[in-house]
Structures are given as structure tokens and as C-alpha cells.
Amino acid sequence: MLSSGKSIMDWSEQLAQFSEPQWAEKNQLTCTYLTPAHIKTAAELQAIMREAGFDEVTTDAVGNVVGIYRSAHSSTDSQDSCVPVKTLLTGSHYDTVRNGGKYDGRLGILIPVACVAELVRQKRRLPFDFEVVGFSEEEGQRFRATFLASGALTGDFDPTWLAQQDADGVTMKQAMQTAGLSGDIADITQLKRDPSKYLGFVEAHIEQGPILCEGNLPLGVVTSINAGVRATCKITGLAAHAGTTPMNMRQDALLAAAEISLMAETRARQDDGSVATVGQMQVPGGSINVIPGECLFTLDMRAPFDHQRDALVNDILAQAHVIAERRGVHFDFTEVMRASAAPSDPQLQQRWERAVQSVGQPIFKLNSGAGHDAMKLHTIMPQAMLFVRGGNRGISHNPLEIISAEDAALATQAFMALLDGFQTDLASTK
Ligand code: GLV
Ligand code: MN
Ligand code: MN
């Protein structure tokens, strides 16, 4: 099984060779939805899955790469069988943030791929179908449609997204068609999974934080994923001469946005576990000698519970309007993503706990500050996640993100143990 760690490291490098041009030339990894780099990544992932021995490997209508390793009694080859074969669903995303790491998302695809390679090596089939999805979009970078890929599986793909434009004016539908997808909502709607056919959704992911690294723990079992809201914001003030307009007569859009950002920081700090981030801020058409008349910025607000997240968002919104009024500017807030907290399914969480224990590791439980595809699947089926330690004090959304081959191998062993656990339980219920 140690070789699985090396395979995962090699595959991660193979996938990381595809980056968007202006980032690639700086040796940085950026792979956003349906760009040429993203399409090449999907093709490479397909090749990796085929090589591992999946029975079926396809790309679906939103660009998800879907590999299926059929059960010993798959309904396709045992039509006489009265026992419907269920499916265990797993996977994570292959898109990245700008200048991101090689493991965020991809590790959660490659670990189960390594499991399939091991099952093939052992000439072994499971008593259930094993479906591994490389989700095409989770990060919400090119379009404001975070989780569109896992959302397609849960029936949450918003048809209006197809008309949404990227920063260059390309619509999502055009991007899909350029990538060889139909861009037809009817094809996307068909991706919705029927939860009654599934045993649940499990996801492995790099932790993206310092807890496992500092605790010298290779694996952690996730108890819940934090709730989040994302918004795009616009301040409209008055562009005016920077030299002649007295300080008390300005309607400076950027300073209003700056004050709102600091207020959001102060408000989030009042809670245990709340976070608020302004990740992007622009003054369109700004000049060195012009008071900013418009400022665009983003807000990302998260908390461990929905009610705590709602209070955070409501307070920030209310105070932002007060600041805008005092400064004589207008504040617009457009919510672009809302995800509920996703507590792990107790039984699936216990399966991870037993799996971690079976590979000789202590059961360490933690919640997830980051969002994951599991949050989406949570809306239709039981889910639970396994975290793998990141090095460099767990830094992520940064090229310094790193894992070790040993931890990748251990996570694969734990995933195999989880599959064994399902196998044993299904056999005993026959
Ligand atoms: C996804 O990486 C997130 O923003 O949590
Ligand atoms: Mn991420
Ligand atoms: Mn991720």
C-alpha cells in the first residue's frame, strides 16, 4: 500500500502541470472552470482513472469526471438478480483557486482512485458500485456559481447561471460549448442523483488548517462543515478631483469599503468560530488623482452554525448600511452563495473513526472551516469526511500547500478500511 502514496504524489504532479497561461509562466497553479488548463486536467484525470482500472470513465454535462468501479453483482451484469446494487459515492474537486495548491480537492479524488487501483491489483470487487467524481467546480472563481458541479448532482444547478458572464464576457453556456459540452439545461438536470440508490457520500480532503500538523496527527475525522455566505458588494460614491476636493466633502467609495472591511473583521472576532474575509477589492477605472467613485469588493462570512452565520451576516449588513449612510455613499449587496452547516452523518462518521483506528491512528475529531462538495451532497444523502494532514502548518489556497506520501498512503489505507467495513456490514445483512 505504500506505493499508493507515491502514486498519489505522482498523479498530483501530473494534474498540476496544467495551469492558466499568465500563472503557468510564473510556475503557479490556477485551474478555473472550463479554461483550456481545466479541460486538459479533466482529460488527464480520465486517463489516470482508466489506467487505475475503473470500468467506466466519463465526463458529464458540467465537466465532472466520473469513474465507476462496478460491484461483483452490478445490475448491468446480473439482470436476474433481485437485489439492487447500491453505490458508494465519493470525490472532490479538481478546480483550484488562483495560485492555489496541488492537493486541495484533488487529493479527495486521487485517494479513492488509489483504492480502485489496489482493488484491481487484488482482483477484488466490492458488493456495491463505487463511484468517484472529480467535481469540475467548487471554488467559485471564474463564475459566481460556487459548488455548481456538486450542485448538479443534488438538483441545485441554477439555470440562470448559464447566462452568467466571466470577467471577459464569456457566458457559462459558451464556455461549456467551447469545452465540447452541450450547455443544455436538460442535460444538466439529468445529472441529479437518486439518493435511494446510494449508501452515502464520503470525501477525503487535505485539512487546509494547522490542527493536524501541530498535533502531529496524520488523519482527522470531520464532525461538521461550517455554514457560509458569499456576496459581491458595490459602493457607489462620487468620483472627484483628488487635489481640490476638501476632505470633509468627499464621497469616497474605497474608504467606505475599507471601513466596512474593518467593521466585518471586528464583528467576526466577537464570536467563537466566526470568520469574515474581503478577498477581492477593485476601483474600476481608478486613477492616482481621482477620489474613487466606485468600489467593488467581495465578502465571505462563515460560522459553525447556521444561526451564528445568520447573525454575523445580518450584523455586518446592517452596520455596512450605517457606514454607507454616514459617508454619503450607496451600498449594494448581492448574495451569491449560501450553504448551510453540514454536520456529519453519525454512522458514516463512525465508519471513518473505525477506519482511522484500524490503521493504527488515534481518533481525532475536528470541524471544517473550509467549504466542501460534501456540503452540497449533504442536502440529499448522508455524508462524512476524512481530513489528511497538510504540512507547512497546514497552509492552503497557497502554493506552499503540501502533503507527505506517507500520509497519502495512510489515508488510502484508511479509505480501504472504510470500504472493507461497508463490505462486512453488507455481507452480514444478507
Ligand atoms: C473552498 O475552498 C472554500 O472556500 O472553503
Ligand atoms: Mn479550496
Ligand atoms: Mn477544497
Query: What is the C-alpha separation between 133 and 89, in angstroms, rounded?
Result: 8
The predicted-structure confidence for 19-38, as pLDDT tens digits, reads as follows: 999 999 999 999 999 999 99
Q: Which residues contact 68 (CB under 8 A, 6 or more apart)?
A: 54, 55, 56, 57, 87, 129, 130, 131, 132
Neighbours of 405 (CB within 10 A): 16
Query: What is the C-alpha separation between 337 and 313, in angstroms, rounded?
Result: 12
Give the residue among 115, 68, 111, 73 at the shortest CA–CA distance from 92: 111
How far away, in angstroms, is 329 Cα from ligand 3 center? 36
The predicted-structure confidence for 231-277, as pLDDT tens digits, reads as follows: 999 999 999 999 999 999 999 999 999 999 999 999 999 999 999 99
Query: What is the C-alpha separation between 203 and 378, in angstroms, rounded?
Result: 11
Answer yes or no: are the C-beta atoms of 88 and 128 closer than 8 Å: yes
Which atom, in ligand 1's list, is nearest to the CA of 369? 5
| Residue 296: strand pairing partners | 234, 282
How far away, in angstroms, is 97 Cα from ligand 2 center? 6
* Mean pLDDT score, 56-64: 98
Query: What is the C-alpha separation between 95 and 30, in angstroms, rounded?
Result: 8
Helices 346-358 and 405-428, interaxial angle, to 10°? 120
| pLDDT > 70 fraction of the chain, expressed in percent and rounded | 97
Q: Given pLDDT bands bounded at 50, 70 and 90, which one contains residue 293?
A: very high
* Mean pLDDT score, 357-381: 98
Q: Residue 429's pLDDT is what?
A: 76
The predicted-structure confidence for 131-190, as pLDDT tens digits, reads as follows: 999 999 999 999 999 999 999 999 999 999 999 999 999 999 999 999 999 999 999 999
How far away, in angstroms, is 343 Cα from ligand 1 center? 17
How far away, in angstroms, is 208 Cα from ligand 1 center? 9
The predicted-structure confidence for 61-90, as pLDDT tens digits, reads as follows: 999 999 999 998 875 544 545 568 999 999
Give the residue among 117, 90, 104 at the shortest CA–CA distance from 3: 117
Q: What angle do CA 378, 89, 363 make, to 5 degrees?
A: 70
Mutate to test the pocket of ligand 1, among 301, 396, 397, 401 (most ligand atoms within 8 A of CB): 397
Query: What is the C-alpha separation between 75 and 190, in angstroms, rounded?
Result: 20
The residue whose C-alpha atom lies closest to atom 1 belonging to ligand 1 is 371
Which one of the ligands is nearest to 368 CA?
Answer: 1
* Mean pLDDT score, 408-428: 95
* Mean pLDDT score, 206-221: 98
The predicted-structure confidence for 383-398, as pLDDT tens digits, reads as follows: 999 999 999 999 999 9
Average pLDDT over the chain, rounded to an integer? 96
Q: Residue 332's pLDDT is what?
A: 98
Q: Verify whether ligand 1 is closer than 6 Å to residue 370 (CB atom).
A: yes
Q: Residue 427's pLDDT is what?
A: 85
Q: Verify whether ligand 1 is closer than 6 Å to residue 206 (CB atom).
A: no
Return residues with CB closer than 5 A to ligand 2 (ion): 104
Q: Given pLDDT bands bounded at 50, 70 and 90, which one contains residue 1?
A: low
* Mean pLDDT score, 55-59: 98
Which one of the ligands is nearest to 302 CA?
Answer: 1
Q: Residue 173's pLDDT is what?
A: 98
Listing DSSP states for 373-392 in one string gives: HHHHHTTTS-EEEEEE--SG
Q: Verify whether ligand 1 is closer than 6 Å to residue 371 (CB atom).
A: yes
All cell numbers assigned to 89: 459515492
- Strands 383-388 and 219-225 come out as antiparallel
Ordered domains of the chain (ranges, CATH): 2-226+341-428 (3.40.630.10), 227-339 (3.30.70.360)
Q: Verify whether ligand 1 is closer than 6 Å to residue 390 (CB atom).
A: no
How far away, in angstroms, is 405 Cα from ligand 3 center? 19
Q: Is residue 97 over pLDDT 90?
A: yes
Which one of the ligands is nearest to 104 CA?
Answer: 3
How far away, in angstroms, is 104 Cα from ligand 1 center? 9
Q: Verify whether ligand 1 is closer than 6 Å to residue 207 (CB atom).
A: no
Q: Residue 80's pLDDT is what?
A: 47
* Mean pLDDT score, 281-299: 98
Q: Verify whether ligand 1 is closer than 6 Å to residue 139 (CB atom).
A: yes
Query: What is the C-alpha separation between 403 and 218, in angstroms, rounded?
Result: 10
